[in-house]
Amino acid sequence: MQDTNVGIIVTARVGSTRLKNKVLQEINGRRAIDILLDHVVTDMYPVVLAIHDLPEDNILQQIAEERGIDFFRGFNDSPLHRLAQCADDMGFDYIVRVTADDILIDMTLLRNQVKMTIARDHEYVYMSRCPDGIAAEVIKTSALLDVAKKTAGRSIEYVSYELKNKYKTFEYYPPFEYQFPAKLTLDYEDDLTVLRILYSSMYKPGTLDIINFLKKNKWALDINHVPLVTVYTCNYNTAPYIADCMDSVFSQDFQDFEFIVLDDHSSDDSVNVIMEYYSRLPIQQQKKTRVVCNEKNIGLPASCNKVLTLARGGYIVRVDSDDRLHPDFLVRTTGQSRLDYTQAVLTGYTSVDEKLAKLNDTLKNMWHPACALLSRWVVNEIKYREGVQYCEGDIFYKEFRKHYKSSFIPDALWDYRQRPGQKTAQPDHPNNKGA
């Protein structure tokens, strides 16, 4: 099979949520999308810009036309299906998937990755042992069309999860000098800062130029560091307990996390308690903490979904505001997830009374929505069903189990507080009917 059967598909949109108009942001006088296209538009492979069919994205079509490259529009709600239809329409046997976040694609590495994929007849090949933002994925179109058929009717944003290890997968290792951990993607304001620093310090820097610069200026790596885990708490009128919850998060043996505390317009003293606790934190702990206050009460599912738009960690953990994590929770759950390669890790828990006295251990917990380690990509695919008063986690996990795998640790790794006034104690809660 010749390289002419390979095409690069760049997926892009103007309406980004975390960094407004990120594809149009300027870096040393060039728009981000132009820098990306400068890298990938060569004589190696044809390039197609796959974009939303929305008026705001007309400018991307205009850019494609000005650059003399093809474009495809459609499937606004499902990037996976847009990618598959584009690949099929263009007649590619293999595609290189490039997202608009990755503007520094290294074409030398990519060409070797493509050649190896074709020679060994792999269906999905990724490269992770290099700076984020320089690598792409190579996908056999037949595999992409197969997964698109299996997920018809669903909105799939995270393409990799639907392909990795479900089809003939291989990890391509770059040469040793490229194996350097750094975040060069463009997703947040901090990422834009790093890229502007690089482009103001060097003229059209290559991957090794950037790596050498970062080795000499390690302070730049801290600007856009992404934590492994996002821990979050949605609080509503739990002023007597929220400090205990926050204390358990900051007492973790594992510290590569960010912590988001959202108050859902409480009518008690919750906000004052939260801010007082925050003010006493060391500066390094304050830097990884974010407090968000809703202007009106929107309920737990909607609050969870709001936090998910802010979360940056690769994993997500929701801790209810009256519960507590044991100090080894994050160490054990992250380790188990990587060991089993699953998208969720649930654990047992200890039931405690209002004053934290132990009641009993539950070591067969396979559904509780709180204190489970979840892949952020998967959580963003499913989300919580808004407008649900009770059992929002049960609904979430029923959907989760249809498509993804989970691990279970049969040890109590968090405290589940039993107290008056909590949702599970309400007479109309489904668990209490007929009691």
Short-list 314, 338, 135, CA closest to 230: 314
Short-list 22, 71, 63, 24, CA closest to 46: 71
Fold observed for domain 3-180: Spore Coat Polysaccharide Biosynthesis Protein SpsA; Chain A (3.90.550)
What is the pLDDT at residue 286? Answer: 95
The reported pTM is 0.75
What is the pLDDT at residue 381? Answer: 66
What is the pLDDT at residue 395? Answer: 66
- Asked whether the beta carbons of 113 and 175 are under 8 A apart, the reply is no
CATH 3.90.550.10 residue window(s) in the chain:
3-180, 229-432
What is the pLDDT at residue 392? Answer: 53
Q: Which residues pair with 229 in a beta bridge?
A: 257, 315
Neighbouring residues of 288: CB distance < 8 A, sequence distance ≥ 6: 227, 257, 258, 259
β pairing state of 289-293 and 26-27: unpaired
Q: Report how far residue 12's alpha carbon sits from residue 55's, in angstroms, rounded to the nearest whole number.
A: 14
Q: Which residues of the chain have pLDDT under 70?
A: 1-4, 365-369, 380-396, 421-435
Say what percent of the chain tops pLDDT 90.
70
CATH for the stretch 229-432: 3.90.550.10
Short-list 233, 383, 210, CA closest to 321: 233
- Asked whether the beta carbons of 144 and 87 are under 8 A apart, the reply is yes
